[in-house]
Amino acid sequence: MLDMKRPEDKTFEEWMEDARQKIPMYSSEWTNYNPSDPGITILENLTAFHVLQQSQMGETTPGVRRKLLKLAGITQYPGKCARVLLEPENLKEPAVFPANQQFLVGDTVFETEQPCRAGGHKVLGVYGMDKGELIDGEMLLDSAVPLSVRIFGENPEVGNGVYFIMDSLPEGEDLHFYIRIVKVPYRNDFVESVNNRFASVTWQCYTEDGFQDIWCRDRTGAFLTDGELVFRGIKNPAIYRELPRTGYCIRGILRQVSYDIAPQLFSVHGFLLEAYQRETSCIAKSFKKSREIEISCNLLRDGYFRVFCREGEGRSYRRYDQYDGIQKEGRYYELRKEEEGKAVLGFDRQRFGYGPVRVKDAIRVVIYNEEMMQRYDLGVVYGYDRQEITLPAAQIVPDNFCLLAERRDEDGGFCYDFVKPKRTGDGELRYELLESEGKIRILDAGDYIEARLFLANLSVYQGENGNVRENSRFTAEGDFGELVFRNPAPGTGGRFRESEQMAAKRFYDEMKGPETAVCAGDYENMVHKISGLCIQKVRAVMDYEKNEVLVAVKPWSEDAFPRLTPLYKSMLEKYFEPRRLLTTRIRFSGPRYVGIDVRGVIYVKRHYERYMDEIEAVLKKHLDYRAGNQNFGDVLRFEELFYELEHLECIASLQNLVIYPQNLKMASVEGMDIHPARDCLCYPGNFYLDIHAGQPERSW
């Protein structure tokens, strides 16, 4: 049965052979099975039709495959731009950048989303507070200095804090900091967001009324991993004078502490610019109704833009032209340029008779670079099913894409609508963006038959290539001289849209991975997946008589004999409760330790000075399970230890060498070998060694 072919995999010849073999079951008179027999001819036709049906039944369309994967909880990952944080390297005075300012690293382009400023603010000092004792962390501001600081002290407690001192603090802006920490060995990867139960920090800013709470997005998990701090809600900052450096102060105070390992900071980077890996060739910016609007955008350097206004709530846009100084009435705006990359537009309904209505998106300004100004016209919507229109670029950022549709109104003029992909509703222009191919496919023309389409928003990106390594060299595009920026953290998040094949492969891979712990290997692998835990060793043992699984866990720690803390135990229990078999009990245990004593006589060769170091190194390698590769319950084999000692270059001979455990309840002796208990780790005990120089005397 296991070798039986699926029906859709059988060939026409195999189906015909099956049919011929079944003829005697239905008719004893039919004896002519040659192709010339009319019955065989009819059977061949029916078999051919059956094969065609089976082949079609075995095929699924892309739409069906997507829906089947969605039922299984798998959807294609959308495309996403990489993001970096930048700090200036050689800035001498503050620089102001417009929106969509480009920064280049090689031929890869990054852009800002909003107007921003570099320089003008600086972190002057970093300090920790440990039970009232000041910790100087100013070396953290120089990443070239290979020093680290336990910013909350060796044993962090509630009330300990970290203080950032700045020369100034801008109000009403998001402040981006990046913290690098000393990596902790064996720390499990953090899954998705950095949420932990080890500590919580309250962030505050010093004001005229004392310290006031502020909002903070903490991507470090209270300094457990490298990450970003974003501060918001700073109002009325004041000078803080209680630290060696005087300045404006933001501090974080520990409100809950259960650190497994005290955080150790490596560097602090403050007042960073955020930029996204994409290259924008046209963009539509929205504004509220106002007599004047100010536009700040890097694309304005080329001077190509079109202006559209709503003249009634819920109505389509109308195009406005620049006032020519002649006409007295019409749809006009007045242009006053302030500087490169900026423009101010004025609207006067009383003067020209037309103007924007008071709504949220009353005014739209579409800005093009020089290349896209020649290619923004995409053509006409003809109304036939699944019409495809090729765009002037591929690998398009889906979130930034928008079309401008031009239609005739009832008065013979033109009205305009901004249309994003996958819109729904009666009469809407429904289309899908084929971002990788650089096309759009119209699904339903709605009321837009014969409408002409133009580009309104278009950006391209490089997917995973945007995840540049840390400390890459960025240069600012434009008139900024030799201004150089560096990114203290690697670019993150960049990826192209996941293909259907990759989504299906991810589904198959997830199906292979265990969601329920059944065998010992499942338990051991899952422990290493629990977000944020420091797991050095784990061993799962099945006790079929008790129907119980013993999971012995050794956390990584700077202590010589670490234990399994109540926090770790509760996190393990919480993780495994939905993943265990219903009838199986799980017991988590920390490591028990048993010392191994060594007794014997060692003769070393003459003229060796460091023989004790070599002997101790071999003994620790075999006896110390805490730091070695040995796991819980591994047998300590005497023969292997004896062989390695005997073959040391400094050893002349060994006599009466024995090893034995200090506690026979935790380890048994079988022959010359030691068998630790299943939740037990060995460590070097006492060494009773008589060491002599030269060869032992021979007795005859």
3-state helix/strand/coil string of 113-128? CCCEEECCCCEEEEEE
Categorize the per-residue pLDDT at 6 as very low, low, confident or very high, splitting at 50, 70 and 90. low
Integer Cα distance of 484 and 12 in angstroms: 69
Task: Assess whether pLDDT exceeds 50 at residue 601.
Answer: yes
How many Cα atoms within 13 Å fall on the side-chain side of residue 155?
Answer: 2
Give the H or E element holding residue 220.
Answer: none
What SS3 string covers 249-300? EEEEEEEEECCCCCCCEEEEECCCEEEEECEEEEEEEEECCCCEEEEEEHHH
Closest CA to 144 of 271, 270, 266, 273: 266
What SS3 string covers 411-447? CCCEEEEEECCCCCCCCCCEEEEECCCCEEEEEECCC
Q: Which one has a higher pLDDT value, 74 or 534? A: 534
Q: Which one has a higher pLDDT value, 611 or 65? A: 611
- Tens-digit pLDDT profile for residues 489-543: 999 999 998 888 888 888 887 777 667 888 888 999 999 988 889 999 999 998 8
So what's the pLDDT on residue 57?
58
Instruction: Give start and end residues of each alpha helix (H) in 495-565.
Output: 500-512, 520-527
- Report strand pairing: 414-419 vs 402-408: antiparallel
Categorize the per-residue pLDDT at 147 as very low, low, confident or very high, splitting at 50, 70 and 90. confident
Integer Cα distance of 77 and 105 in angstroms: 26
So what's the pLDDT on residue 2?
36
So what's the pLDDT on residue 153?
94
So what's the pLDDT on residue 516?
84
What SS3 string covers 338-391? EECCEEEEECCHHHHCCCCCCCCCCEEEEEECHHHHCCCEEEECCCCCCEEEEC
Task: Assess whether pLDDT exceeds 80 at residue 12.
Answer: yes
Dihedral angle computed from the Cα positions of residues 363, 366, 406 and 453, in that order, rounded to the nearest 10 degrees: -150
Contact partners, residue 645, CB within 8 Å, separation at least 6: 602, 615, 618, 619, 651, 654, 657
153: phi > 0 → left, psi -120 to 50 → alpha, else beta; which? left
So what's the pLDDT on residue 393?
93
Q: Name the phi and psi angles at 67, rounded to 5.
A: -70, -35
So what's the pLDDT on residue 246?
95
Q: Which CATH architecture has domain 121-270?
A: Sandwich (2.60)
So what's the pLDDT on residue 91?
84
**Mean pLDDT over the full length of the chain:** 89
- Tens-digit pLDDT profile for residues 386-424: 999 999 999 999 988 999 999 998 888 899 999 999 888
So what's the pLDDT on residue 502?
86
Integer Cα distance of 534 and 260 in angstroms: 8
Q: Which one has a higher pLDDT value, 618 or 328? A: 618
- Tens-digit pLDDT profile for residues 565-584: 999 999 999 999 988 888 88
- Tens-digit pLDDT profile for residues 300-338: 888 899 999 999 888 999 999 999 888 778 999 998 876
Task: Assess whether pLDDT exceeds 80 at residue 210.
Answer: yes
Q: Which one has a higher pLDDT value, 62 or 420? A: 420
Neighbours of 45 (CB within 10 A): 10
So what's the pLDDT on residue 695?
64
So what's the pLDDT on residue 8?
57
Longest Cα–Cα distance of the chain, Å, equals 129
Q: Which CATH architecture has domain 520-589?
A: 2-Layer Sandwich (3.30)
Categorize the per-residue pLDDT at 678 as very low, low, confident or very high, splitting at 50, 70 and 90. very high
Neighbours of 442 (CB within 10 A): 21
User: Residue-wise over 544-558: b if at least 16 C-beta within 10 A, else e?
Assistant: eeeeebbbbbbbbbe
Integer Cα distance of 164 and 128 in angstroms: 9
Contact partners, residue 420, CB within 8 Å, separation at least 6: 401, 402, 403
Task: Assess whether pLDDT exceeds 60 at residue 697.
Answer: no
Of 57-66, 81-90, 345-354, which range is least confident? Answer: 57-66
Integer Cα distance of 478 and 282 in angstroms: 18
So what's the pLDDT on residue 59?
64
Categorize the per-residue pLDDT at 195 as very low, low, confident or very high, splitting at 50, 70 and 90. low
So what's the pLDDT on residue 206?
96
Q: Which CB contacts under 8 angstroms, 24+ apart, belong to 239-245? A: 239/206, 240/165, 240/206, 243/125, 243/127, 243/134, 243/163, 243/165, 244/125, 244/127, 244/134, 244/136, 245/124, 245/125, 245/138, 245/165
Give the H or E element holding residue 103.
Answer: strand 102-105
Task: Assess whether pLDDT exceeds 70 at residue 7.
Answer: no
So what's the pLDDT on residue 668?
94
Q: Which one has a higher pLDDT value, 698 or 404? A: 404
Residue ranges, comma separated, of all CATH 3.30.300 domains in the chain are 520-589
Average of per-residue pLDDT across 244-254? 96
Amino acid sitting at position 590: G
Q: Name the phi and psi angles at 641, rounded to 5.
A: -65, -45
Task: Assess whether pLDDT exceeds 80 at residue 352.
Answer: yes
Amino acid sitting at position 553: V
So what's the pLDDT on residue 61?
67
Please give the share of the chain, as a percent, with pLDDT higher than 90.
61
So what's the pLDDT on residue 376?
93
Angle of CA points 146, 150, 155, to nearest 5°: 155
Assign 465 to helix, strand or coil. Answer: helix
Categorize the per-residue pLDDT at 698 as very low, low, confident or very high, splitting at 50, 70 and 90. very low
Residue ranges, comma separated, of all CATH 2.60.120 domains in the chain are 121-270
Task: Assess whether pLDDT exceeds 90 at residue 640.
Answer: yes
Q: Distance between alpha carbon 506 and the CA centroid of its chain, in Å? A: 16
Neighbours of 592 (CB within 10 A): 19
Task: Assess whether pLDDT exceeds 90 at residue 694.
Answer: no
Q: Name the phi and psi angles at 356, rounded to 5.
A: -70, 150
So what's the pLDDT on residue 227?
93
So what's the pLDDT on residue 700?
31
Closest CA to 78 of 397, 393, 364: 397
